[in-house]
Amino acid sequence: MGKERLDQAFQQVLSKGDKAFVPYIMAGDGGLDILEERLNFLAECGATVVELGIPFSDPVADGPTIQKAGIRALENGVSLRDVIGKLKEIKATRSVPVVLMTYINPIYAYGTAEFAKDCREAGVDGLIIPDLPLEEESIVAADLAENQIALIRLAALTSTKERLVEIAKRTEGFLYAVTVTGTTGARSGFKENLAQHLQDLKSVCEAPVLAGFGVSTPEHVKELTENCDGVVVGSRIVDLLHQGDEAAIRELIQSAKITEQARS
Ligand SMILES: O=P(O)(O)OC[C@@H](O)[C@@H](O)c1c[nH]c2ccccc12
């Protein structure tokens, strides 16, 4: 459960020589009733962990694709409480670890202690809270720790070296290395010095380092994972799910695995 389950999931993948692939989906996009089916589909495609977004009215880090998915979910009336309730219901049959991505406001409104306890009961393994800076972590850190839920930290491109070291030291589950300055969403390419940045993060981080933001093709996955342990892919997965293109999702996720040839 929790932190430990995340550690095991990454270890299992990385020890085989594969890279980790964490797809992001918006909870409630398409209705909460299809959540279980989607999680199990992603697991079956080879997802290491799934990042599950909570729809929110003011998603400051999100680009157009995820904003639209959030609006669809909000139109379905889906709240943080509903998502946790659904996860609790499907806990026994869910086959992939889940980390929730939510802004701090809904957690604060829920009550941090109750939220952390409910997350644990629902089998939530970790949390990504993009608008919670290091200095404010004490709002939730103790409650999450008490329930063995990992707090996954984000490393921005613009942070100072000292700050990145501190973030890398504190992170749990994995380190989310944000690859661009700006919001989520597909991009055509990455900064030239990104490879070095990822290597620098890896050299100071014991947890796996995963690159995310703007990753949308198997070529991106191959390129980025030369310098880190895996990727997080959001907008592209959300679009493909919305279009019902299961084959493309499978191909994208499988691109994080080394080929059988390379294995032998
Ligand atoms: O959509 P992209 O560019 O593939 O980026 C990942 C991303 O969507 C997902 O991790 C995410 C969605 N919303 C966020 C807010 C902050 C940090 C991360 C996220």
Instruction: Output the domain CATH number for residue 202.
Output: 3.20.20.70
Q: Give the total number of structural domains in the chain.
A: 1
Active site residues: 51, 62
- Kindly report, residue by residue over 160-219, the tens digit of the pLDDT: 999 999 999 999 999 999 998 888 887 777 888 899 999 999 999 999 999 999 999 999
Band of pLDDT at residue 149, cut at 50, 70 and 90: very high
Band of pLDDT at residue 261, cut at 50, 70 and 90: low
**Two tokens at 59?**
């998603």
Residue with the smallest CA separation from ligand 1 atom 11 is: 234
**Domain of 103?**
2-263
Residue with the smallest CA separation from ligand 1 atom 9 is: 234
DSSP 258: P
Could you tell me if 61 and 110 are in contact, meaning their C-beta atoms sit under 8 angstroms apart?
no
Give whole-number Cα distances, 182 to 61, 108, 175, 186, 190, in Å: 7, 25, 18, 11, 12
* Cα 130 to averaged position of ligand 1 atoms, centre (Å): 9
pTM: 0.96
Q: How many CB atoms lie within 10 A of CB 25?
A: 24
Give the binding-site residues of ligand 1, using a 6 Å CB cut-off.
24, 51, 53, 61-62, 66, 101, 130, 184-185, 212-215, 232-236
Does position 136 have pLDDT exceeding 80, yes or no?
Answer: yes
